[in-house]
Amino acid sequence: MQRPIRMGSLQLSNILTQEERTYMQDMAKDHFNRIMQVLKALPRPMLLVFRNINTVRSINIALGAPVDRYFLMAKSAVRGWSRIVSQKSSGFSIFQWLMVSWESFKFEIALRLELLSMRFTVSVLRFLVYAGFVQQNEQIEEFLQS
């Protein structure tokens, strides 16, 4: 969803049939007003966040992806969630602290397992491309770069 569109290499006429192009154009026309309503209803700071996410993504790719932004954003979201839970509770007890800590720990483990799974998948795919079992195409190249 947050991948760049390379207009120079974007050739939908080679990928989509005329019927598919017409369908996509019709869907875009039909839903354009609704999309604009949703965007207009969003708080202005949220639009800025969306724009900045794309900017950070582009910078991250330009620098060779030195930072796993998904991991960092997920950890930040969990910290924010734990703060909200603690603020909603008038008397933040040790039990609530343990519960929030346990949930945060479980999420951290799940996040790290997902990260390992993605790295393993990329490694297997690179090996399959290297060994000649899978032919490298633009989709695979884009996946390996992201």
Taking residues 12-40, report their average pLDDT: 79
Which residue segment(s) compose the domain that 25 sits in? Answer: 1-67
Looking at the structure, do residues 48 and 82 belong to the same domain, yes or no? Answer: no
* 52's tokens: 């900045």
Contact 13, 21 (CB under 8 A): yes
Looking at the structure, do residues 56 and 1 belong to the same domain, yes or no? Answer: yes
Tell me the pLDDT tens digit for each residue of 86-98: 777 666 677 877 8
Q: Does the pLDDT at position 68 exceed 80? A: no
Question: pTM score, two decimals?
Answer: 0.48
* 29's tokens: 């026309």
Domain boundary residue among 15, 32, 67? 67
Looking at the structure, do residues 81 and 134 belong to the same domain, yes or no? Answer: yes
Q: Which amino acid is at 74?
A: A
Tell me how far apart the alpha carbons of residues 85 and 45 are, in angstroms, rounded to a whole number.
23
The total number of structural domains that make up the chain: 2
pLDDT grade for 126, boundaries at 50, 70 and 90: confident
Looking at the structure, do residues 84 and 51 belong to the same domain, yes or no? Answer: no
Tell me the pLDDT tens digit for each residue of 17-26: 788 888 888 8
